[in-house]
Structure 1
Amino acid sequence: NVLTLTLEDGGTQTVDFTTVLAAAGTDDQALTLAAGNILTLEDGGTVDLTAFLDNTDNQTITTFSLDNTTNVLTLTLEDGGTQTVDFTTVLAAAGTDDQALTLAAGNILTLEDGGTVDLTAFLDNTDNQTGAEVAITDAAGNFTSTEVEGALAELAAGSTDDQALTLAAGNILTLEDGGTVDLSAYVDTDDQNLTSAVVIANESVEIQINDGTNTTIDIRDADSNASNEIQTITSTDGSVTVTPSGINYNLSVPSADPTVVTAGTDISVTGDGSTATPYVIANTRPDIFYPPSIEVDVATTGTGRTIDLHAEYLAQYGTPTVVSAGAPVAIPTYANNELYYYVTYYDPAVFANVSVNNVGVMTYDVIASPTDYNTLINVVFVAQ
């Protein structure tokens, strides 16, 4: 869109019509120059260029100016004169084209004022060629085929490699169709030494490896309780056995020589020594003794009177009046259920309905006072 004018003396001037054309749209009319220096437009309109002939004025044009508002081109001549060119007529003839465009079905572009353009040939989704119709350029010579489909077939046929692998001496891995890999660098040859050093006594130890990174290990009891690993083992039959499992061990005690228990004079033995029936050793000679003497009030008669013979026995044996040198303060006694109680004699003129129960309580009636103020009741205790 640049107009270039060449002057007689060799100089040139240019005019850029880009701004004008942008405002007026595009006008691709053909121009013809007729006799008489008349410039004719294809669609009509003429411009008389006589004033611009280069053989009438040899002045140099010094300045061009184009008024975009009035569409007038002003030329300033060397001698001070000016010439103008009004392009209003040209632009009016060219007009402006602000038609709307619509795209109808079938890829037809329609102009608002008429005219259509078929865009089907420019669609990008109509290339339904097969791979065999598309040629390839294989500069490296990897394929014998010269089209895509054939090259892909060759690539698929050669995509599997079922070679056998063998490992030879010296850690060399050999491929069936040729080629080897030396695996020596990957063989386990790490013979580094490990050492340890105490970091904190009874708490942590550092494991050291030459050519490697040291590691500190916490050796403390995880629950910080030193006593909960102490186990108590009990046995009901005299042996100790821990069933082997993991870190457990059999601690059973072998049977020792059997204990022989034999009965003898005044001694009896029952049971077989087992847990169910252990040995029981008993004195076959009765332990017979008289309880201490006590007073019985017979000054008056009465029925259902009682005396706790065992309680009287404990009172006197527990706190004797006199004790020999070196003797215990109290005499050993039996519980009331460890004795048998007997009344061997009583005065029937004074007592009646005499009885004694299994814990040593004697019951009696006083039926008369003794004539000489004295009477007897004899009692015997026998250890069970």
Structure 2
Amino acid sequence: MGAMNELIDRSTVLSLAGLLREADGTRTWDAVEESAERVDGLQLRARSDLVAEAMLSDESSYDELSTAVRRALRLPAFTGWMIWPVTEAVTTAALRGFSSDSHQALVRFDDGLRLLAELTPRLTAEFAIRRFLAADLDRALANILPWTRSPDEHVRRLASEGTRPFLPWAVRVASLTSSPEKAVPILDALRTDPSEYVRRSVANHLNDLSRQSPALVAQTAGRWLAEPDANTAWVVRHGLRTLIKKADPAALALMGFSDATLRVSPIALADETVTLPGSLDFSLTVTNEGDAATRLAIDYVVSYVKNSGALAEKVFKLSAKDLQPGETVGLRKRHAIHQMTTRVHYPGTHLIELQINGRRYSRRAFEVEIPSPVSSG
């Protein structure tokens, strides 16, 4: 994360202050310049917040800030990571004292979202719009839906990405997670988008929905598959990836993975003990013993030993195969096992097994050993 923190460094903030002065000479923007001396040592988010607060201390109203920012948008150099604190400052100013009973507050709300759409081609505003969604979900979505018709792919992607229920690094929006169906019209409008950048966001949004609304995801994917374009199969497959790993029957059926008559060999391990850092090399064969061709979603499941001694499963994608009656396919995989910040490994007996179209086969145990640190003395 250290290198990421430097995305907003002293020089970035000084550049921002200079551009704001160039765009709007009515104020000095001294607080922004002074904040450049205080970003060192902070995490990236904290740096953005510090600079955003400095921008707000230099302005007296949303109208003045938005005017300055729009003037800055005329400058090509007004781009990159300096935009993150700008989007946060715009959001704070637009939502200050927000009330749905105040006409002026609603005007600021709507214009604030428009300004974020103008900023997002310079750097995504996907985090900033979360506070608009939290303040008034229905009004925010009514503003966001027309973005799906924007000629700019960054704005169209913002509509999908910013409304994801579980957007990484972003604050959760309770009203959005409790009513995930409200953002589906945005996905419907973008699922055939000409930009892969946008379609990938749609698929990730659909996959987010599967964490709490699998029936909604299956229904939505089914509608799309009924009227497909050249990219629908990929969007649906990527959007259903978590449900496929969870062996959700509706998702499996949508992708053509039905129950099959199979013969699965025992998993063969190259070594029954893995010393970290290392890998588990395994192989096996799968034979279609049925009378018809079958499509197989082939995954493997590793049960890791936790610190408590209990086991925790994680499903990994292995392959997708179409097998004719009597056909056999050989499968081979090297599964790396090493310490990571997102997964700490512990010694003990682990398990590996195959999962095909939601059914489990051929469980094997293997040992994980962690060498003791070598003493420097």
Q: Give the alignment's TM-score, normalised by structure 1.
A: 0.15
Greater strand fraction, Structure 1 or Structure 2: 1
Q: Give the alignment's TM-score, normalised by structure 2.
A: 0.15
Greater helix fraction, Structure 1 or Structure 2: 2
Structure with bigger gyration radius: 1
